[in-house]
Amino acid sequence: MGNKILIIGGCGFVGGNLYKAAVSKGWQAMIADKVFSQEFGSSEFYNIELTDTENTFSVITEVNPDIVVNLASVADIDLAQKEKDLARKINVEAACYISRLCNNRNIKYVYFSSDAVFDGHSKDYKEDSHLNPVNYYGTTKAQAEKCILSNNPGAVIIRISLVLGFPVAGGNSFLSAIEEKLQNGKQIVSPADEYRTPVDVQTLCESVLELIELNYSGVIHIGAKDSISRYELTKKLIKKLGYNESMLILQQNCDIANGRAPRHKNGIINTQKAQGLLKSKMLTVDESIERIFSSKL
């Protein structure tokens, strides 16, 4: 397999870091996104509109990559719940169209999914666990997974829970959002009853590239070796950023607050398959946090 990689959604948080990781390995990396970022050269960037199949076909045909990684998503759970038509077009229809196109052109396809495909009632979700999403975002991811697995047997579906780290160019970073609020003197409200299996963005990107090199196909969970509540995780990050824990407010009954969409409570994904398969080491939550901040220095 060649190493020409097209990252759809490459100007986002994970996409920018994946681009950087691919280039550092000597891969030829290209970005397709709706909005250009000055962090990337114009010769490496392609404007793409995923709701337009002709445009999507044109971009992928022109780049002619060996690998397509699709990170584009309506990932805001509350927005997806309100804008269901848009969420379906991007998260399901575009994802499936790209999957079929890649299969027809013998291009390796990597799709990012989520622990939101599970209902969050259990505490150890494996790759083959029953899908039962509790919100529309999770529903779109589950539908996309089913479609991709049926039309592209060589595809990779990477399920993640929560990605930690700093962006290269921009995008939706949980950690950066916390830092920005703290810098502006704003308190942070965090739910008491939501658990996640986070991964630092460097480990995630290394794992993605390794899965491609292994020509892995199927579903795989990438995350820490342990899980943590969003509240306790936020507390650790606030302390690491050098702020007082008093900036954190514990909130109960978050689902009924401000019209918030339902959340899966236990995003506890089992990462034993990744631990056994990859040379990239799955870290503990604390190790992940240390890696994020040591790489920033």
Residue 20 neighbours by CB under 8 Å, 6+ apart: 168, 205
Average pLDDT, integer, range 275-295: 96
Q: Who has greater pLDDT, 39 or 94?
A: 94
Give the number of C-alpha atoms closer than 13 A to the C-alpha of residue 251, restricted to the C-beta side: 17
Average pLDDT, integer, range 73-78: 95
Supply the pTM of this predicted model.
0.95
Domain spans of the chain? 4-228+263-296
pLDDT, position 257:
55
pLDDT, position 251:
78
d(CA 113, CA 133): 12
Instruction: State the pLDDT confidence band at 254, using cuts at 50, 70 and 90.
Output: low
Average pLDDT, integer, range 191-197: 93
Instruction: State the pLDDT confidence band at 78, using cuts at 50, 70 and 90.
Output: very high
- Provide the mean pLDDT of the chain: 94
Give the number of C-alpha atoms closer than 13 A to the C-alpha of residue 136, restricted to the C-beta side: 20
Kindly provide the b/e burial profile for residues 108-144, where b requires at least 16 CB atoms within 10 angstroms of the residue's own CB.
bbbbbbbbbbbbbeeeebebebebebbbbbbbbbbbb
Q: How far is CA 266 from each of CA 117, 203, 210, 276, rounded to the nearest angstrom?
A: 11, 22, 28, 23
d(CA 238, CA 179): 8
Q: Is the pLDDT of residue 139 over 70?
A: yes
Helix/strand/coil percent split, the chain, to 5: 45, 20, 35
1 residue type, one letter: M
* pLDDT tens, residue by residue, 95-133: 999 999 999 999 999 999 999 999 999 989 999 999 999
Architecture of domain 4-228+263-296: 3-Layer(aba) Sandwich (3.40)
